Amino acid sequence: MTKAELLDAVAKSAGVSRTDADRTIAAFFEHVTKSTKKGERVGWPGFGTFSTSKRKARSGRNPQTGGTVKIPASTAMKFTSSSTLKGTLNPRRKK
């Protein structure tokens, strides 16, 4: 699903204009980004939790040259789905 398709679906489902849906979704992601950047977790019951994880600096390999490359430390966004979402996605799975 593309961003345009998602915006159309959300706008139709919520009964709002596409512009309003775009602003709302953009504001949601902006707040998730700001909060997780501060080290906070953002949870949506029944859906999941957004958080960050720290990656240590490490060395890697350049696949073209085979040489060693230094990969700097970084922070990554992490999403953990809730058990409710997992159950919805896997209805036949035993609990």
Q: Using one digit for the tens of pLDDT, what is the confidence trace for 1-58?
A: 999 999 999 999 999 999 999 999 999 999 999 999 999 999 999 999 999 999 999 9
Expressed in percent and rounded to 5, the helix, strand and coil fractions of the chain are 40, 30, 30
- Tokens 């490490």 — which residue? 58
Query: Is the CATH number 3.40.50.970 carried by domain 3-55+74-86?
Result: no
pTM metric for this prediction? 0.77
